[in-house]
Structures are given as C-alpha cells and as structure tokens.
Amino acid sequence: MNRIGLNQASSEQLIEQLNDLLANYQIYYMNVRGFHWNIKGDKFFELHVKFEELYNDLLIKVDEIAERVLTLGGQPAHAYSSYLKHSEIKEAINYTGSEETVNSLLSSFEILLKKQRTIMELSGDSGDEGTSALMSDYIREQEKLVWMYGAFLG
C-alpha cells in the first residue's frame, strides 16, 4: 500500500496513464494557445474569447493532473520533448480558420475523453476515488464542450 492507502502496483499503473494524459493535455494546451493567438476571419471575436477560456481551463487541469501523479507517489512528466514523443494529440501548427481550429478541438477532446474513461475505469477498480472523481468531472465538462463546439460547426 502507498501512503494514501492504495495498492502500490495499481497506483503505478495510474501514474503511467496520468503522465500520458498530462502529455496530451500539454500539447492540447499549446495548440489552443496558438488558436487564440492566430485565429482569423469573421468568427475572430467569438473564438478568440472562447479559446482563451479553454486554455485557462486546460492550464488548471494540467496542474491538477500533475498534482494527482504526485499524490499517488509518482513524478509528473515535465519535459516538452517527452510530451511530443508520447502525446496522441499532435501539434496543430499555423491553424488560423474557424473550422480547422474547432475540428482540431473536437478531435483532441475525443482522444482526451477516451483516455480519461480508461483512467476512470482503472481508478474505480483500484478504489482510487480521488482520481476517479477528477476524471468524472473532466468527462462531464468536456462532453458538454463537444456538444457546444459541434453546434458551432452546424
């Protein structure tokens, strides 16, 4: 058992998956920052604000994921080269249009939701309510964002 009363082997599995999730969040965060900075066109004002809201939220989630890794007794990944190597979400370079940026958001949410559901299942099986609750909160928020950004596209 680790210091918070969870099975050490299960916690190590969760640490690995959370670090993978962290890598994906870090790349996604930088993509959204780029969208905020570079958006052009008739949806500029609307999306510029929405992207700022999203990247501020992602920054909080990055910190929460890293702190959860620490809580479980691990070390959060913190090298950008490692993030690029392990992230399923790829860099979205020079995206400037509303459709391409929002489609990228939706593709990234699909990846994050899949990974978070896997982590939530493993954490539930391990009795790790803290990680499970965190993933549940993220999933609920992101499902709504998928609906909203999908509605934006029509």
Nearest residue to 18 via CA among 57, 55, 56, 71: 71
**What residues make up the domain containing 22?**
8-153
User: Would residue 143 count as lying in a domain?
Assistant: yes
User: Would residue 1 count as lying in a domain?
Assistant: no
Q: What is the pLDDT of residue 90?
A: 98
3-class SS of residue 41: coil
| CA pair distance 49, 61, nearest whole angstrom | 19
User: Would residue 52 count as lying in a domain?
Assistant: yes
- Read off the CATH number of the domain in which 30 is found: 1.20.1260.10
Predicted confidence (pLDDT) per residue in 110-151, tens digit: 999 999 999 999 999 999 999 999 999 999 999 999 999 999
User: Would residue 2 count as lying in a domain?
Assistant: no
In the chain, the number of structural domains is 1
- How confident is residue 66, by pLDDT bands cut at 50, 70 and 90? very high
Evaluate if pTM is beyond 0.95: yes
Say if CB 123 and CB 1 are below 8 A apart. Answer: no
Predicted confidence (pLDDT) per residue in 23-36, tens digit: 999 999 999 999 99
User: Would residue 78 count as lying in a domain?
Assistant: yes
Say if CB 58 and CB 30 are below 8 A apart. Answer: no
User: Would residue 3 count as lying in a domain?
Assistant: no
